[in-house]
Amino acid sequence: MSLRRITISSFRNILSANLSTGGGLNLIYGQNGSGKTSILEAIFFLGMGRSFRSHLSQRVINTDADNLTLFAQLLDGEEQTKIGLRRHRSGDIEVKINGDKVKKLSILAEALPIQVITPESFALLFEGPKARRQFVDWGAFHSDPQFYQAWMNTRRILKQRNQLLRNQASYSQIQFWDKELVRYAEQVTLIRNHYVDSLNALLKGIISEFLPQVDINVSFTRGWDSKTDFSQLLENQYPRDLATGHTVSGPHKADLRLRVGSLPAQDALSRGQLKLLVCALRIAQGKLLKQQLNKNSIYLVDDLPSELDAQHRQLLLKQLTETGAQIFVTAIDPAAIVDSLLSPPDRMFHVEHGQVTVIE
């Protein structure tokens, strides 16, 4: 799976760009604010229907435009897929795959699996369980076709249950929803747990290359006491849930814990080590997808040289290129990437004031 061409219109400061991309490493360089990160963001937007830099999608639309348009040609073996997306300032979004309208953005994510490594990726370690839960759910979504619907049902039931709690409903009114919640929560948890077990098998080898002197333990917590029956827990915690107005425990509180000894990884490692750990997580996730579905992710790596010395830049690029996946890397100085590669990039693009130039 790789992008062979991407067209970007009215996306941030990129008014118009048409990139013919290489199947291996694509290097995008330019000064800060030039628009190089916007290319990565546009690819992500095409695969997820949202930005990795802002929760407000309207902000990515160029200030002089009413909408943005993205188009890409994907190649998977001999099979070619065309994806188009238009996002209006009003919030409306139109998506087409091979000319057919698509209503669910989850179909985009399935068609275009993307791994992002950016300065914001530290959120995976610093910003609480939500980012780590999303990381696990990305893999669970791709590895098990039953996960998406089970998780959507879980979220729907939690929303209904929380509304009843805010309305001070009696437990007899909530009990029906609890039976459904337990059923889907157990399904979601089983898939998540199985995915993390599979991921760990790959992750340990990559971490040992990146951080050979550090013993990192990765474990999954399901969101409630593993020794307690969830159905009984919901009943016992009803008074507390009623007081807070929401469900305190459950699969919506699941987490991926990364520890060095007794300390959380973010307290035990340096910034450079943390970046390598995040990269190891993303690379392992992409490799597992390849193992399970014979499908490559597309890696988007923003500002790769920052906080990494030459040795670790070389090690990271070696790991990325060995995945056999398509990679988009940004840097201010192209030499910081080129000098760390064993062979030249497939394609090089220079970005200045939103204008993209191919470097032959």
Q: What is the pLDDT of residues 123-173, one digit of tens each?
A: 788 888 999 999 999 999 999 999 999 999 999 999 999 999 999 999 999
Under the banding of pLDDT at 50, 70 and 90, the label for residue 275 is: confident
Residue 57 has pLDDT above 80, yes or no: no
CA angle 77/117/293 to nearest 5° reads 30
Contacts 24+ apart (CB under 8 A), 288-293: 288/139, 288/143, 288/198, 288/199, 288/202, 289/113, 289/139, 289/142, 289/143, 290/323, 290/324, 290/325, 291/202, 292/142, 292/143, 292/198, 293/142, 293/143
81-96: pLDDT as tens digits:
999 999 999 888 999 9
Q: For 39-45, what is the mean pLDDT?
A: 94
Res 24: pLDDT:
93
Res 198: pLDDT:
94
Res 3: pLDDT:
92
Strand-strand pairing, 298-301 and 255-260: unpaired
Res 273: pLDDT:
87
State the chain's maximal CA–CA distance in angstroms.
70
Instruction: Identify the structural domains of the chain with CATH numbers, from first to last.
Output: 125-292 (1.20.1050.90)
Res 50: pLDDT:
87
Q: Point out the annotated binding site.
A: 30-37
78 against 289, higher pLDDT: 289
Candidates 129, 133, 51, 118; CA nearest to 279 is 118
Res 121: pLDDT:
79
Res 213: pLDDT:
85
Under the banding of pLDDT at 50, 70 and 90, the label for residue 306 is: confident
CA–CA distance, 289 with 114 (Å, rounded to integer): 11
Q: Point out the annotated binding site for ATP.
A: 30-37
**Helix runs in the chain, H state only:** 36-48, 106-111, 123-126, 129-143, 147-166, 171-210, 230-236, 238-244, 265-268, 271-293, 310-322, 335-338
Res 104: pLDDT:
82
241, β-bridge pairs: none
Under the banding of pLDDT at 50, 70 and 90, the label for residue 243 is: very high
55, 148, 203, 210, 290 from 139: Cα distances, Å: 22, 11, 13, 22, 11
252-264: pLDDT as tens digits:
999 999 999 889 9
Residue 56 has pLDDT above 80, yes or no: no
Tokens linked to 33: 């604010």
Q: For 208-216, what is the mean pLDDT?
A: 89
Q: For 31-55, what is the mean pLDDT?
A: 90
Amino acid at the residue 248 = V
Res 354: pLDDT:
92
